[in-house]
Amino acid sequence: MSQLHQKLIHLAHRYHQPDFIGDDPIQIPYRYSLQQDNEVSGLLTAYISFGRRKMIIAYAIRLDEMMEHQPYQYVLSERWKEDFREGEKTFYRTLKNRDIAAMFHFLHTVYQEHETLEDWIIKENKGLPIETLLYGLGMGKTSAQKKLNMFMRWMVRKNSPVDIGCWQKIDARHLIIPLDTHVHQMALELGITKSKTASFKTAVEITDYFKEIFPDDPCLGDFALFGMGVNRK
């Protein structure tokens, strides 16, 4: 085992700890125990996850309060139609009320036909790569599809002190590392990738690298790179 692999293993376990949650947007969906609440809160939180983490968390909390801390019931109630009726009003950065309403509409449609979002994904997948799902909703507007991959990590990774792991039908081996600025920069500095473009191809390349170290759970490598990037002096 190379020194770099040993270093990455050490860092992954160092940052893959419960105290990671306190500074991360996952703290919002993490508070729930009902799978549907995890899904609704997780999807919406991931959807607004761009910019500084403090601002993301602040607006995720605002959304949670609007849902009266009952995400699933809020979707079913359709109160979002009234709360976000001013479609062109800005909700967060480039996201308008109509964008948030579209997410609620999608979730409402899903739960009319399926018990969980996980069930919908399994049905709609039909052998296609997981990364193609939800693209049309704007989860993949950035080429690396960081939002979608982060949401999938939250839902899928089990026995984690950080991730929720409420989904049972998708294996963690198929996840793709969420490629944000910190992860990409550290991967470049460590020689894990030479690509200076934060693309989906780059995210897959970095994930494949970590499959050599964590074959059953390549997204564990996300904590090593992200932790290094955020905590560097």
Written as one letter, the residue type at 118 is E
List the chain domain ranges: 3-231
Is this structure's pTM higher than 0.85? Answer: yes
Rounded CA-CA distance 143/164 in Å is 25
86-115 mean pLDDT: 95
Q: Map residue 53 onto helix, strand or coil.
A: helix
- In the 8-state DSSP scheme, what is residue 193? -
151, β-bridge pairs? none
75 contacts: CB under 8 Å, gap ≥ 6: 40, 104, 107, 108, 111
Tell me how far apart the alpha carbons of residues 3 and 213 are, in angstroms, rounded to a whole number. 12
Residue 95: predicted pLDDT: 94
Q: How far apart are CA 21 and CA 27, in angstroms?
A: 5
Distance CA 185, CA 198 (A): 10
Reported as a single tens digit per residue, the pLDDT across 19-77 is 999 999 999 999 999 999 999 999 999 999 988 999 999 999 999 999 999 999 999 99
